[in-house]
Amino acid sequence: MNPLLTDLLDSLSLTPRPIDRDLIVRAWEFADLAHHGQKRLSGQSYILHPTQVAITLALWNLDTQTIVAGLLHDTVEDGGAAKEDLLTQFGPTVTRIVDGVTKITDIRLTGSTEKEFVENLRKMLLVMARDLRVILVKLADRLHNLQTLQFLPAEKQVENARETLEIYAPLAERLGMGEVKGQLEDLAFPYVYPQKYQDLLAQTKELFAQGEKYIAKFKRELLALFKPQIPSAVVNTRHKHLYSLFTKLKRPENAGDLAKVYDLIAARVIVDMVEECYAALGLIHGKYHPVPYLGVSDFIANPKPNGYQSLHTKVFGPEGRIVELQIRTRAMHRQAEMGIAAHWQYSEVKAQGVSGDKLEQGVSFAPQNKLAWVKQLAAWQKELTSDQEYLTALKFDALQHRNLVFSPKGDVYDLPKGATPIDYAYAVHTDLGPQVTGAKVNGKLVSLDYQLKNGDVVDLVINRKRKNPSSDWLNFAVTTTARRQIQKSLKS
Ligand code: MN
């Protein structure tokens, strides 16, 4: 067997989820054939790339369809496969995901004007909203492309790396995929800021080495402290991702001073239950004094908008050094690393009531779960537009003039500010417009001139026999489609 295929099959045995291995083998062979004779710029055979993408998706515990889509994601655009073959051999779900990945890839976000950037970003959000798995494949694809970026021409390197820092890393963060965000940023950092990267690397080398010794000692003390009451507690140590350190140093309160960054090296306590998190915090504060004013953050009681949960504290560790500690359960840890992917997996488990046959067709994404995801996306968009900390905030700002609105099934529509249920009806289908007699927004009846907000779910009340719109509607309909159709109907 080809060693790449062996690696892929090995990675599948690590996932707890039932996987259709035969289908994966078929998809790999299909991709191998489609990319036959093609080479990556590294000189390696092309199939290495989709195989790596699929392995990443398997390690993220994603389902068969997503892994298959990962294998096939470049077969039509860059390989010799036809979309029809994908459809007949792997079905509509896989084809739709592959199609979505291609669309997102074609949307260039760097080098465009601000107006194009915003429009392109919106297009991207819309593709994502239709199936979350599109963005997961795209992130896995981007991760591998960054790992092999050194083989690209210099200009392309910077373009890809910059796009990663501006779009894909914040996106991973908003999806709660903290670990993926850190990986993407650290891979892109040296290409976008080569000198600053080298400087920081040199500055931190010694600090990280010292810190590792120190934290190993602290870890032994902590484990001894937990042993009597929470014997199952695990302590991990990590050092801060370099790019995240770079942005932290740029904040005015730190003024580039490494001594002010307390989480250069940090320890993370992982336990089984929520009560054990608070018990661990009590034990820690009983022995190591918490640093006044820097404070304790309870993200368990108050989760971050992306779902992140943990307790954070800063204490005086051995020798009086300030150390940051995070305390969380295993489930919270998984959420913190994998975010929406962990969540999506959970949603799918809940949807297991659907027959196995339907699951294969990808109906596993129950409508209400899809709705939860698209609503989260809308919330994310809103948050993005108000978050000044992001350099891109200025660009994202223009997004405020548009709203994402949803059908009860979770289909997403992109409407301008001020749009009403009538605009929505015409956006769904021009024949639907005249039939509208009322509308419910988020379960409540509203008037037809109600101005829709980002994230609203619109359920129309219709009368199929009605053929003509009301002339009043021209007083409040804002979209060109709706206005044109209403005027046309009124004339005839
Ligand atoms: Mn690719």
19, 163: one domain: yes
209, 60: one domain: no
77 catalytically annotated: yes
143, 291: one domain: no
141 catalytically annotated: no
7, 20, 29, 77: the catalytic one is 77
Alpha-carbon dihedral sign for residues 68, 70, 75, 77: positive
Distance from the alpha carbon of residue 140 to the mean position of ligand 1, in angstroms:
9
29, 90: one domain: yes
Using CA atoms, how far residue 168 sits from 33, 67, 128, 211, 284, in Å, is 30, 20, 12, 30, 37
CATH code for the domain in which residue 329 is found: 3.30.460.10
Quick check: is 289 in a domain?
Answer: yes
172, 201: one domain: no
34, 175: one domain: yes
Quick check: is 348 in a domain?
Answer: no
Please enumerate, as own/partner, the contacts of 273-281 that have beta carbons within 8 Å and a separation of 24 or more: 273/329, 274/300, 274/329, 276/230, 276/233, 276/329, 277/311, 277/327, 277/328, 277/329, 278/311, 279/229, 279/230, 280/226, 280/230, 280/233, 280/327, 281/311, 281/313, 281/327
Distance from the alpha carbon of residue 166 to the mean position of ligand 1, in angstroms:
19
Residue 386's pLDDT is what? 43
Quick check: is 311 in a domain?
Answer: yes
Print pLDDT tens along the chain (492 aa): 899 999 999 999 887 778 899 999 999 999 999 999 999 988 899 999 999 999 999 988 888 999 999 999 999 999 999 999 999 999 998 998 999 898 887 776 666 666 666 666 666 776 776 677 888 899 999 999 999 999 999 999 999 999 898 888 877 876 778 889 999 999 999 999 999 999 999 999 988 888 889 999 999 999 999 999 999 999 998 888 999 999 989 888 888 888 878 788 889 999 999 999 999 999 999 999 998 887 799 999 988 766 788 999 999 999 988 899 999 999 888 878 876 666 554 444 333 333 333 332 332 333 344 455 555 555 555 554 443 333 343 334 334 456 778 887 767 787 878 899 999 999 999 899 999 999 999 889 999 999 998 778 899 999 999 889 999 999 999 988 899 899 999 988
DSSP-assigned letters across all residues of 308-362: ---EEEEEE-GGG-EEEEEEEEHHHHHHHHHTHHHHHHHHHHHGGGS-HHHHHTT
Strand partners, 297: 312
CATH code for the domain in which residue 471 is found: 3.10.20.30
Distance from the alpha carbon of residue 71 to the mean position of ligand 1, in angstroms:
9
88, 60: one domain: yes
The Cα–Cα gap between 263 and 417 comes to: 42
149, 278: one domain: no
Which tokens go with 204?
Answer: 């931190």
151, 205: one domain: no
Q: Which domain holds residue 412?
A: 401-491
Residue 343's pLDDT is what? 53
Residue 372's pLDDT is what? 55
Residue 141's pLDDT is what? 96
Distance from the alpha carbon of residue 136 to the mean position of ligand 1, in angstroms:
12
Quick check: is 373 in a domain?
Answer: no
46, 112: one domain: yes
The tally of domains found in the chain comes to 3
212, 231: one domain: yes
409, 324: one domain: no
Among 77, 25, 69, which Cα is nearest to 50's? 69
20, 29, 78, 414: the catalytic one is 78
User: Cβ–Cβ contacts within 10 Å for residue 122, how many?
Assistant: 17
Q: Could you give the angle at the alpha carbon of 139 between the alpha carbons of 183 and 41, nearest 5°?
A: 85
Residue 377's pLDDT is what? 59
Distance from the alpha carbon of residue 106 to the mean position of ligand 1, in angstroms:
12
Quick check: is 355 in a domain?
Answer: no
